[in-house]
A and B are shown apart, each in its own frame.
Chain A
Amino acid sequence: MEQPQSDSYQGQSGGDVSSHDPMEPQAAREHKTFLLTSLAGLLFLIAIPFLVGEYYVSLASEILIFAILTSGVNLLLGYTGLVSLGHAAFMGVGAYATAIGSSLLGYPVWFVMLASITVSLVIAYGIGLLSVRTKGVQFLLITLAFGQMFHAIAEKTRYTGGDDGMTNIPRIDLSLIGLDADHDRVFYFFVLVCFVIALALLRLVVDSPFGRVLVGIRENEKRMLALGYSTFPYKALAFGISGMLAGLAGSLWVQHSFFVNPHIMTWQMSGEALLMVIIGGSKAFFGPLLGAAFYVLAKDFLSDITEAYLMFFGLLFVLVVAFFHGGIAGFIARIFNRTGGPAGKDDQ
């Protein structure tokens, strides 16, 4: 039984009402903040190769690739409220499709990339159609099961080297514009372009009426059904888009590292993607990017000291889930709000 709430909030209604202007002031403000943040962030990302050494440029590529994966995962986790433990599978699909297409079949990489993304989308959508019938814990388990199936396929397939995987996978050929992607700085810019396209697409999706429906499903699916939404196709499509981004990440990943093996599809990998999203902040659009950056950099730093970096991430993850739901993004937003930014809502 729901108790009538205390009226402690009643008093503060005066400020944010614009009774004759139906446009939401907050949404408009947020959109502006988003554009400014993106622009500043983009300039920073462009500057990176000019500021740091080759090694860190390579790490930056890694961050952006993971950010594509985790932003896709967050379309499900943060926006739709579905926790998938099988997304590494779609990263693997993208990775293997690229490796097979370029290394074994000899097609040009740009073509193979497009094909890989398409294949990931189609497979993820198909798996989505089967998975999103369930929810909550069952959904988590069924995605895990599908993920493990793909992992098993990769391990068993002789054609792709079984457990050892494949090596010498080529990077995209940029000689048309006079560049060589084998240089890490050049490849970084290629990854950056993919990253910008992917996140722009994702932003369009979450900002659209379709994206609002996903948020409604996260908030209260029962009400969505009562409003007349068939939530099923929305969830399946969200799953597909999310898997497509994972596929793109996988396709870039094999080019970045020149090899692929089934490890990319383990459920630990899916778990690490969740880790990044949660630590970065699942409630914010750029949270997964921050999470990926934190994860890659901290892992790089920690693995100099100890192999047991999982311990620190595990603990951090627990603390974030338990106490800081906003993750890094929420933390930054809070600091920003305290120092005189637009009056924000407390994250409680």
Chain B
Amino acid sequence: MSQLSVKDISKSFGALSVIDKFDLELSMGDRHAVIGPNGAGKTTLFNMISGWIPPDKGTIEIEGLDITNHSPQAVTQAGLARSFQKNTLFDWLTVAESLRLAVQASSNVRFNFLQPARRFGGLQQRAHEIARQMELEPVFHREVRTLSYGQKRQLEVGMALACSPKILLLDEPAAGTSHAERATLVRLLTTLPKNVTLLLVEHDMDVVFGVCSQITVLNYGRIVASGTPEEVRQDPEVRAAYLGESASHDGEVAHV
């Protein structure tokens, strides 16, 4: 049985069809990227899978459990955590506090309201572990707003990872990063635990080819091609629709 199964979902805003009959099957440990030009519907797709926007039709299942119209929090509790393209962090909390909140979400102490939080050392251990994994140990006790942009992107991934998800959705983890920061991110993403399934949306081809073994190409809400990086690279339709544009995208990224 596949771990994440997206069947025939569609979404339109008014007359504009953003996602049209999208299918995706992921098995445990997959490394899958969804790529496509701006406006291809990638973010909408992510928002539907993670529960932020209900699809017009179609179903989404995690290990056979239908989560189609579930709230974002229910989807996360079902084992699918996401990161955001634009940093969505706790600016005034420390990295430690942020990660502990993330870890606490999936523990049963979260509704405890009469015992000091610092008594729960297990949470703190786990938060520290995530920080080490995301190479945020040196800034563990610093407030998030004082981190560098690259570190914030690492934390963005770390927050999702701290939910102990079965499936991790990363929304352009490298958005806006410098070359050096991107290299760090790719390294971190390749060392994620093998039993976590990874689905990412990304503009940057270094990240996609560096991390993923399966690629789905989206254009105007439709799947244009799907397969290994090599197959996708060879696909004539993809070359026309997307890779031809990638040079200009790289240019864009370099400007940021």
Q: Give the B-binding residues of A (Cβ under 8 A).
A: 1-5, 7, 9-10, 13, 16-19, 22-28, 31, 204-205, 207-213, 215-216, 219-220, 222-231, 233, 237, 345
Contact = CB atoms under 8 A, between A and B. Distances in A.
A228 B141 contact: no
Interface in B75-115: 76-77, 81-82, 84, 86-94, 96-97, 100-102, 104-106, 109-115
10 contacts: A3-B149, A7-B148, A16-B142, A24-B124, A204-B116, A207-B116, A213-B110, A223-B84, A230-B74, A231-B73
A227 B160 CA distance: 7
B142 A13 contact: yes
Contacts of A210: 110-113
B14 interface: no
Among B125, B137, B177, chain A packs the most CB atoms within 10 A around the CB of B137
Contacts of B141: 16-18, 24-26
A224 B187 CA distance: 27
Given A210-B111, A212-B117, A4 B71 contact: no
A62 B109 CA distance: 37
B217 interface: no
A227 B76 contact: yes
Nearest to B141: A16
B113 A223 contact: no
A212 B117 CA distance: 8
Given A19-B137, A19-B138, A208 B113 contact: yes
Contacts of A209: 104, 109-113, 115, 117, 120, 123
Given A17-B138, A212-B100, A230 B71 contact: yes
A219 B50 CA distance: 21
A220 B91 CA distance: 8
B62 interface: no
B159 interface: yes
B167 interface: no
Given A13-B139, A228-B106, A22 B125 contact: yes
Interface in B139-171: 139-143, 146-150, 152, 159-160, 162-163
B143 A345 contact: yes
Given A16-B142, A19-B138, A22-B125, A2 B176 contact: yes
Contacts of B104: 209, 212-213
B138 A13 contact: yes
Contact of B73 (A4, A216, A230): A230
Contact of A208 (B81, B97, B115): B115
Among B89, B111, B125, chain A packs the most CB atoms within 10 A around the CB of B111
Contacts of B201: none
B156 to A, nearest CB: 9
B114 A204 contact: yes
A208 B114 contact: yes
Contacts of A31: 118
Nearest to A213: B110
Contacts of A7: 148
A60 B162 CA distance: 48
Given A4-B148, A22-B140, A209-B117, 10 more contacts: A4-B177, A13-B142, A23-B121, A24-B141, A211-B117, A215-B97, A224-B105, A226-B88, A229-B110, A345-B143
